[in-house]
Amino acid sequence: MQEFIIRNAWLVNEGQRFRGHLHIRHEMIHRIYSEELPLEVMHIPFLDAGGRYLLPGVIDEHVHFREPGLTHKANLYTESLAAVAGGVTSFMDMPNTLPQTVTRFLLEEKFAIASVRSLANFSFYLGATNDNLQEIVKTDPRTTCGIKLFLGASTGNMLVDNSRALAAIFEQAPTLVAVHAEHEPTIRENMARFTSRYGNRIPMTMHAQIRSADACIRSTSNALKLAQRYGTRLHVLHLSTAAETKLFDPSPGVAGKKFTAEACVHHLWFTEEDAAEKGTLVKWNPAIKTTADREGLRQALMENRLDVVATDHAPHTREEKAKPYREAPSGGPMVQHSLPAMLELHRKGIFPLEEVVRKMCHAPADMFRIDRRGYLREGYYADLVLVDPDRSWTVGPDNIRYKCGWSPLEGTELSHAVTHTWVNGNLVFENGQIHDKYKGMRLVFNR
């Protein structure tokens, strides 16, 4: 069995930063040393970290890796490769594939594909529809991350708009319900208004007004009311407005929270002003909104109104994104660049380093009650990322790993670089080289 020690790293974990060494044995973290290594382990093979940061592997609880059925955009191999290149060691994938993952049989098919293709650890959401309640209620909370519910139509159009179906899902779901919250009638009304003004030539700069702040606030408020009525474990995805964050309590821990909320990297990085330059490359649902909203989201993270940071990684081809506004699909690739981007915001003084680790590693593990991941702890799986805080690099075609081959951050200089990533103690990424012999595991949930 593989055994080695990562020496002389700055370990960042549970609000602390200390110089130390980490001993890996049998896929697990065996020992953590904060002082000198004892003589009896000096013979064990080692990697000298040279003072780089050693972090728990990032857990991205919101991705779209497009397999099955949409593999011209991405697949479980290519996007998990991009994930580990960016320090993401576990992901949770959404159900709007082809076919849509709305039965337990189709869910298990995706797990089977991932077991032979994914370099990172994985789980998959079961999708909710207006008529699949019997599938939802039989979901095993120990082996499936959650139920995904679209309250606003987006890529794949899995909108659930039947009031009885919604009530039943909120009442009977046996595990966490993750919602895409946008008020569909408001969006349709806005689209009709802008169509009457612009016809089929609506500018991309109008996207934030069509998928408006009001549409988000109304839907998130409605979701919280349903969850309060039925006692649902609710998780609201990709908040995009400062006003929405005020609907959530500023509790410091997530393990006992009934209602939680997610921030996505693109909403923390871009504003609607970027649409003038980048066009549909920054077309997401919900839309990127104002500078004030971005600042409000950042503040809400620090206040613990927002609990986790994820990506909503959702690749499309360049050709698809180059279409006119109404035809171009929403979503963009981000999983390779989420940790470096958040570390860049740390460098700019926006987030403490320890807070980045908490929101991207600890909080997802606690929120979903993932078995022995998300922390640097003895007895936990050795999902690790080594980061050089002094290696600047520029996002470009020569280092983008996504199958779609582009990034909305292309041309951006980042100051932190991922140099090594381990998944279950196996080195899968090393100074730009991928080692794909080892595959990730299915995540297990203690609930």
What DSSP element (H or E) covers 200? none
Question: Contact 33/20 with Cβ under 8 angstroms?
Answer: yes
Does the annotation mark 383 as catalytic? Answer: no
DSSP class of 91? E
Question: Contact 176/142 with Cβ under 8 angstroms?
Answer: no
**Dihedral over Cα of 166, 167, 170, 174: its sign:** negative
Within 10 angstroms of residue 302's Cβ, the number of other Cβ atoms is: 14
Q: What gap in Å lies between CA 370 and CA 267, rounded to an integer? A: 26
Closest CA to 158 of 192, 190, 126: 126
Q: What gap in Å lies between CA 279 and CA 50, rounded to an integer? A: 41
Q: Cα torsion at 153, 169, 99, 122 (round to 10°)?
A: 100
- For residue 327, give every residue at least 6 positions away whose Cβ sits within 8 Å of its Cβ, in sequence order, or none: none
Within 10 angstroms of residue 138's Cβ, the number of other Cβ atoms is: 11
Active-site position among 60, 307, 312, 383: 312
- 54-67 burial string, b = 16+ CB within 10 Å, else e? bbbbbbbbbbbbbb
Tokens representing 171 are 């009442």
Q: What are φ and ψ of residue 291, in 5° steps?
A: -60, -40
Strand-strand pairing, 234-236 and 259-264: parallel
Place of tokens 């806005």: 190
Q: What gap in Å lies between CA 283 and CA 428, rounded to an integer? A: 32
Question: Contact 113/176 with Cβ under 8 angstroms?
Answer: no
Amino acid at 362: H
The upper half-sphere exposure of residue 233, i.e. CA atoms within 13 Å in the direction of its Cβ, equals 17
DSSP class of 101? S
Strand residue runs (E) in 308-399: 308-310, 384-388, 393-394
Tokens representing 301 are 């993270």
Strand-strand pairing, 384-388 and 417-423: antiparallel
The upper half-sphere exposure of residue 275, i.e. CA atoms within 13 Å in the direction of its Cβ, equals 22
Which residues are designated catalytic?
Answer: 312
